[in-house]
Amino acid sequence: MAKAKRILKWQRDPEGMRLRILEAAKQEFAAYGLAGARVDRIAAAAGANKRMLYYHVGNKEDLYLEVLEGAYEKIRAEERTLDLEHLDPPDAIGRLIDFTWNYFLRNPEFLALLNTENLAKAKHLKRSTKVKSMHSPFVEMIRTVVTRGVESGDFRVAVDPVQLYISIAGLAFFYLSNSATLSVIFGRDLLKKEARDERLEHMIALVLAALTGKSTAAFVGMPALQSLEHRVV
């Protein structure tokens, strides 16, 4: 966590301060939820005085909403860099699953923030004009991929793209978001490398088998697939 630079007494840095506050707030809200988050801790982590939060952003809920909006903006931005258009339909779906999985892995705070917001019954999201205008490009992407797949004969059947999107997200989200309790229940560490690889393989195999009708690696015991993801953004 970047500490405030105090060369002599202090320096002005409004933009930097704002960013540090939002980053600290993201970590805090992700770690403790909205009610559990502490304004003082955010300020301390940001290397700021508590008063700064109110000066630069607003009260706790404003801060929370801004963090949430930022989280959505970030994933939407990355989603847009994925162009599934010129991939083979099965590859496109595999890539989508791979991206979703790795995005969640790389951004665990995003999962926690979504859970927090759902606990609040999306109260803040509903008020956010910003987020509502950022519709995910995925649904249309998926729709065209599915259509292409059906036309080419790669896919046996058409699926509602919203259902498919929720399914793919759900397969990844639940595993990661609930890894703590699941690891206790099943008595094995679901976050260790091998377990993560196995999970990705399973998800891709499950979805592709359903769509194409052909079995793939995880279902017939082949070695793990290489992750398709490269650095995005």
Partner DNA sequence: ACAGTATTTATCCAACGGGTTAATTTCGGC
Partner DNA sequence: GCCGAAATTAACCCGTTGGATAAATACTGT
CA distance 57 to 185: 41
Question: Cβ distance 204 to 225 under 8 Å?
Answer: yes
Q: Could you say which of 44, 105, 122, 228 contacts a copy of itself (CB under 8 A)?
A: 122
Question: Cβ distance 3 to 28 under 8 Å?
Answer: no
Question: Cβ distance 204 to 98 under 8 Å?
Answer: yes
Q: Could you say which of 55, 202, 229, 232 contacts a copy of itself (CB under 8 A)?
A: 202
Residue 146 tokens read as: 């599915």
Q: Which is nearer to a copy of itself, 3 or 188 (CB)?
A: 188
H-helix segments, the chain: 14-36, 39-45, 50-56, 60-81, 89-106, 108-119, 123-127, 129-133, 138-152, 161-177, 179-186, 193-212, 217-220
Q: Which stretch binds DNA (CB under 7 A): 9-17, 71-79, 151-159, 190-198?
A: 9-17
Size of site (CB under 7 A) for DNA: 25
By CB under 7 A, the residues from 36 to 55 that bind DNA are: 37-40, 48-52, 54-55
Binding footprint of a copy of itself on the chain (CB under 8 A): 32-36, 112, 114-122, 125-126, 131-132, 135-136, 139, 156-160, 162-163, 166-167, 169-175, 177-186, 198-199, 202-203, 205-207, 209-211, 213, 215, 218-221
Binding footprint of DNA on the chain (CB under 7 A): 4, 6, 8-14, 17, 37-40, 48-52, 54-56, 59-61
